[in-house]
Amino acid sequence: MIESVGRWFREKLTGFSYAFNFFLFLLKETAHFPWNKRVGFKVLIMQIYFTGVEALSVIALISLGIGAVIIIQGIAILPMFGQGNLMYTILIMVITRELGPLLTAFIITARSGSAITTELGNMVISHEIEAYLSIGIHPVSYLGVPRLYGVILAMLFLNIYFNLFGLLGSYLVASFLHDIPFTDYLMNLVLALTPADIISTFLKSIIFGFIIAVVSIYYGFNVNRAVTEVPQNTIKSIGMSITLCIIADAILVVVTRL
Amino acid sequence: MKFGFRHADKFVGLFILVAVVFLGSALVVTSINRRWFARDYEYFTRFTSANGLSVGMPLELRGFEIGKIKSYTLNADNKVDVTIVIYDTYIDKATEGSVIELAVSPIGLGGGLNFYPGTVSDRILDEFSYIPSNKSAEGKALLMSDKVDKPDGEDAIAAIMDNINPILLGVDNMINSLTGIGNQVESALAGNQATPLGGMLVNLEATTAELNTLLPAIDAILLEVAKMSRSLSLLMVELEDPTGLVPTLLDPSGSLETMLNDDNEMYGYITSILGEIQTNLENLSSMTNDLKGITPELNMVLDETTGAIQEGKKVLEGLSNNPLLRGGISEEASADYQHATLRDEEF
């Protein structure tokens, strides 16, 4: 009993130590990436393409729907309490500050995080990682870092698109139901938008993107030799990414509201 | 190679470009709206109380927001030092001799901070300099000397009235509407209108006239009812009177006494009548029983009589239809009644 507890603790400690060292190494390589003139840039572009461009339709649809629902409900309910102008504050609060970064993070986790883990895990099993090492290319630098940059940038830009479709696209839906001049709508939105909202949403995007990328890369390289490890690690990476994103979101909300 | 992969660079470039343009536009619009890059000139003024003051409160010149309150503190002399900013677009209004006025409603209708430019010179006040308030000695002197661009009637009350004016306008409109309604009703009552209200009043007049013709008849009916009521009252009085009808009937020398003390003559007479009635009823009962006994025979006799009558009818018809006389006897299917009584039938 005591031996098994000790073994479990030693394995956890070893695993945590490995993860921490991996994280530090990834950070170091990430810092060096802009000065690295090797072919990693092409990997970065492809990663932004897969993570950002290909997810744009899903993001647009979701943000349009959420924005429309908020504005329709707001127009219907808030004027009853004489708080019609709060609709714009709620739009900014929900789309820009909260749901935008979080939903984008969930979508990227489901689409790209799982893909990164699976791809890297399969490369480990097929000994491609060893091949890179044999020719002097570090797999974390060449495969991991561009993916990290790609996911963070894609997350950042997708969040901007989420706001674009959520805030402006919702106007199109609302204009079918109510006669709201576009200039009034835009001016009220701008009045409701504060620098804190912009900083908060960008900060969240970068942190969520970083979490998703690091977790996905780590679990991808964490595969050892069996093919069955790939789906297991993929599931773990998705669960861990979502959990960490929600925790980070809660911390950021508390910090930005202090 | 897939189209997307071949042109991935272009797609990613466009993807980033559109996002950056949108972000840039949002930042520019927000920065303009929030005056991030605009120059604000700082001044300070002094009030005796902070009542009605708040950070961000607009400083207005003839209804235009030319600045706002940045901060205010209580100084060592228990006066309130207020730091205000004037926007760069209106800095030419901050001339020497300007006065700031705080208008606060004593009944909680809000207030405002008004700015009155000095008219003595066009020299713009140095930044961080003092602008007197209307409550200070300098401010009062400037206002009294008429060296301030203050529109006639624009004072604290006027500023408050600006806030109340929309409400008063609404009340005024309501009073106008009520006056209009009153005039219309008055005109209708005078019979000058062909509108529904006028029509209603005309109908009301006709109804009143008809009612006037009916009133005499109603009066007559009411007189009759009054008579009936009086009679009923008299009857009730009689009934209530202890010397009235009932005691008279029950009197020892009255009719009842006479009827009851006649040596059973009336009783005997009534007994004999009742005996005769009983005899008649017994006879009737025996007759009824006899009739009940001969009912089947009577039925048969009646059936036969009916048949004889029908035959006689035929004979008479034959005679009337005789070719020699008329047209012979018409043929008829026989329909004999087979059962003596209804109970003989089998269902």
Q: Which of A49, A193, A195 is facing B12, going by the closest CB pair?
A: A49
pLDDT in tens, B52-106: 888 888 888 988 889 989 899 998 989 899 999 999 888 888 888 899 988 776 6
Within-domain flag for B170? no
Interface membership of A56 toward B (CB under 8 Å): yes
The count of domains in chain B is: 4
For A161, nearest residue in chain B (alpha carbons): B19
Tell me the two tokens of residue A198. Answer: 């912009």
Q: What is the pLDDT of residue B345?
A: 47
Count Cβ neighbours within 10 Å for each residue of A120-147 and write b for 16 or more, e otherwise. bbebbbeeebeebeeeebebbbbbbbbb
Pairing state of beta strands B99-104 and B80-87? unpaired
Q: What is the pLDDT of residue A117?
A: 95
Residue B155 shares a structural domain with residue B269: no
pLDDT tens string, chain A, 258 residues long: the values are 888 899 999 988 988 888 889 889 888 888 888 877 666 788 888 889 999 999 999 999 999 988 888 888 888 888 787 777 788 888 898 899 989 999 999 999 999 999 999 999 999 999 999 999 999 888 888 889 999 999 999 999 999 999 999 988 778 877 887 777 888 888 888 888 888 888 899 999 999 999 999 999 999 999 988 899 999 999 999 999 999 999 999 999 998 877
Query: Smallest Cα–Cα separation from B68: which of B30, B109, B35?
Result: B35
Contacts of A45 in chain B (CB under 8 A): 8-9, 12
Contacts of A48 in chain B (CB under 8 A): 12, 15-16
Q: What are phi and psi of B53, to 5 degrees?
A: -90, 150
Distance from CA of B16 to the nearest CA of A (A): 7
pLDDT in tens, B1-60: 577 777 888 899 999 999 999 889 888 888 887 777 888 899 999 988 888 888 888 888
For A48, nearest residue in chain B (alpha carbons): B12
Give the per-residue SS3 of chain B: CCHHHHCHHHHHHHHHHHHHHHHHHHHHHHHHHCCCCCCEEEEEEEECCCCCCCCCCEEEECCEEEEEEEEEEECCCCCEEEEEEEEHHHHHHCECCCEEEEEECCCCCCEEEEEECECCCCCECCCCCECCECCCHHHHHHHHCCCECCCCCCCHHHHHHHHHHHHHHHHHHHHHHHHHHHHHHHHHHCCCCCCHHHHHHHHHHHHHHHHHHHHHHHHHHHHHHHHHHHHHHHHHHHHHCCCCHHHHHHCCCCHHHHHHCCCCHHHHHHHHHHHHHHHHHHHHHHHHHHHHHHHHHHHHHHHHHHHHHHHHHHHHHHHHHCCCCCCCCCCCCCCCCCCCCHHHCCC
Interface membership of B37 toward A (CB under 8 Å): no
Interface membership of A146 toward B (CB under 8 Å): no
Contacts of B27 in chain A (CB under 8 A): 198
Tally the C-alpha atoms within 13 A of residue A251's C-alpha that lie toward its C-beta.
10
The answer to whether B62 touches B90, Cβ cutoff 8 Å, is no
Contacts of B19 in chain A (CB under 8 A): 156-157, 160-161, 164
B interface test, pick of A43, A44, A53, A158 with most B CB neighbours within 10 Å: A53
Q: Domain range spanning residue B141?
A: 38-164
CA distance B347 to B327: 42
Tell me the two tokens of residue B120. Answer: 């003595």
Interfacial B residues in 242-271 facing A (CB < 8 Å)? none
pLDDT in tens, B148-197: 888 765 555 555 556 556 666 766 777 777 777 777 767 766 666 665 55
Residue B28 shares a structural domain with residue B66: no
Distance from CA of A224 to the nearest CA of B (A): 30
CA distance A152 to A158: 10
The answer to whether A185 touches A171, Cβ cutoff 8 Å, is yes
What would the mean pLDDT of B219-231 be, rounded to a whole number? Answer: 80
A interface test, pick of B28, B30, B65 with most A CB neighbours within 10 Å: B30
Beta bridge partners of B222: none
For A202, nearest residue in chain B (alpha carbons): B23
Q: What is the pLDDT of residue A16?
A: 87
Within-domain flag for B247? yes
CA distance A28 to A34: 12
Tell me the two tokens of residue B337. Answer: 């009644």
pLDDT in tens, B139-150: 888 888 888 888
Interface membership of B17 toward A (CB under 8 Å): no
Query: Smallest Cα–Cα separation from A52: which of B26, B8, B27, B2?
Result: B8
- Across the interface, whether the CB atoms of A190 and B30 are under 8 A apart is answered yes
Tell me the two tokens of residue B264. Answer: 């059973």
Residue B47 shares a structural domain with residue B141: yes
Backbone angle region of A178, left / alpha / beta, with phi > 0 → left and psi within -120 to 50 → alpha: beta
Within-domain flag for B342? no
Residue written as token pair 């090797």: A38
- Across the interface, whether the CB atoms of B8 and A195 are under 8 A apart is answered no
CA distance B299 to B286: 20
Q: Which of B11, B22, B23 is facing A53, going by the closest CB pair?
A: B11
Within-domain flag for B111? yes
- Across the interface, whether the CB atoms of B19 and A54 are under 8 A apart is answered no
Interface membership of B9 toward A (CB under 8 Å): yes
Residues B280/B286/B291/B296 CA torsion (nearest 10 deg) = 170
Interface membership of A246 toward B (CB under 8 Å): no
Classify A61 as helix, strand or coil.
helix
Query: Smallest Cα–Cα separation from B114: which of B104, B125, B123, B101?
Result: B101
Residue B101 shares a structural domain with residue B213: no
Residue B109 shares a structural domain with residue B53: yes
Interface membership of A196 toward B (CB under 8 Å): no
Interface membership of B29 toward A (CB under 8 Å): yes
Tell me the two tokens of residue B206. Answer: 């006709």
Domain positions in chain A: 40-257
Distance from CA of A187 to the nearest CA of B (A): 9
Residue B74 shares a structural domain with residue B105: yes
Query: Smallest Cα–Cα separation from A217: which of A46, A19, A11, A50?
Result: A19
pLDDT in tens, B283-340: 888 877 776 777 777 778 788 888 888 888 888 777 777 666 555 556 666 655 555 5
CA distance B24 to B2: 33
Interface membership of A161 toward B (CB under 8 Å): yes
Q: What is the pLDDT of residue B39?
A: 84
- Across the interface, whether the CB atoms of B8 and A49 are under 8 A apart is answered yes
Query: Smallest Cα–Cα separation from B26: which of A133, A65, A159?
Result: A159
Residue B117 shares a structural domain with residue B135: yes
Interface membership of A53 toward B (CB under 8 Å): yes
Distance from CA of A13 to the nearest CA of B (A): 41
Query: Smallest Cα–Cα separation from A154: which of B8, B19, B3, B9?
Result: B19
Position B347 pLDDT exceeds 50: no
Residue B28 shares a structural domain with residue B42: no
Residues A172/A178/A184/A185 CA torsion (nearest 10 deg) = -40
Residue B17 shares a structural domain with residue B50: no
Q: What is the pLDDT of residue A103?
A: 94
Residue B120 shares a structural domain with residue B102: yes
Chain A and chain B share a number of CB contacts under 8 A equal to 50
Residue B257 shares a structural domain with residue B276: no
The answer to whether B128 touches B45, Cβ cutoff 8 Å, is no
Interface membership of B200 toward A (CB under 8 Å): no
B interface test, pick of A157, A162, A163, A188 with most B CB neighbours within 10 Å: A157
Distance from CA of B15 to the nearest CA of A (A): 7
For B34, nearest residue in chain A (alpha carbons): A191
Q: What is the pLDDT of residue A248?
A: 95
Residue B138 shares a structural domain with residue B46: yes
Query: Which strands form B64-74's sheet, in the order they lie side by side?
Result: B40-47, B80-87, B64-74, B58-61, B111-116, B99-104
The ipTM estimated for the assembled molecules is 0.82
Interfacial A residues in 17-46 facing B (CB < 8 Å)? 45-46
